[in-house]
Structure 1
């Protein structure tokens, strides 16, 4: 996939455009994504790139993100167009195409859906979604449980992660994108 020089370019961009904390998180997600890719038979190089770049747009001002989202050629539901915290996944998927000439559909999808998930979710997208949730810097209440699920089964981990995410959104009174519900329904059907 990407050679060391190209990875160096990605890292230099992230160091310049992200806080130290967010850059560390990006590195941790890349490393977790590689581990999960090796465990579950996905492309480890693509997992590294998608994990590394998943938050490339995270610290762009909301107005700039909104402009990118409004022009996006990706499938974006109305709920996402109104939810500023979700903009960075869509914007990141757009930016890696223009900034780094990355057009691999698996990587684009993994960055696009790393926060909201989607129905018929590709394996690499699942891996980056989970890697983001269980990366070494995460310390929320159930993170150890989520890491354990991720070691046992990709499908079980996704189902538990989606239940956790939806419950958290409901408790906060947040809206839930259609793609998240579609992902949940897919994994709920498969868990029976």
Structure 2
């Protein structure tokens, strides 16, 4: 029932944002290099974030969809970030740790971090945040000089399991305007707190 309600809610958000024409104001081949959040204060990002809405391109097969996708964010020296992520595979047997974004190195560009081998040219970009409610990120794998990604992932995170409609609307508008993405393929994250990270906070 909760999933159905969220689906209807998302459909309404898409209808409103789409009705305003946002997805049609940009042409993917002509958009400039996607830049991160200006004047980002990484220390304000620290703490727990819950994935609320996400999309990966190419899409993730259904049998590989993860739920309980939660991150504990810490800030290191010289503006570095670490996203310690825990999620639950579809078989629901055991939570798994995901270390891909555990070492994010600032590139010198606002809100832009590199991860993985240097030759991969992978970028983790903080697109928008208010620090206390929502966080919009783009993972760009194999970014070329024109800012195009061989594959990408977009996530809208929330400080709580839920996210108020105003922030969902703002996030979807930013996805359409700045990232030039349609709303096809987005999924809601499911949370029952089976992979709660609060003990991770205690350890820190």
TM range (shorter): under 0.3
So what's the TM-score if we normalise by structure 2?
0.26
Q: Normalised by the size of structure 1, how large is the TM-score?
A: 0.27
Q: Which of the pair is proportionally richer in strand? A: 2
> Higher relative contact order by CA 8 Å / sep ≥ 6: 1 or 2?
2
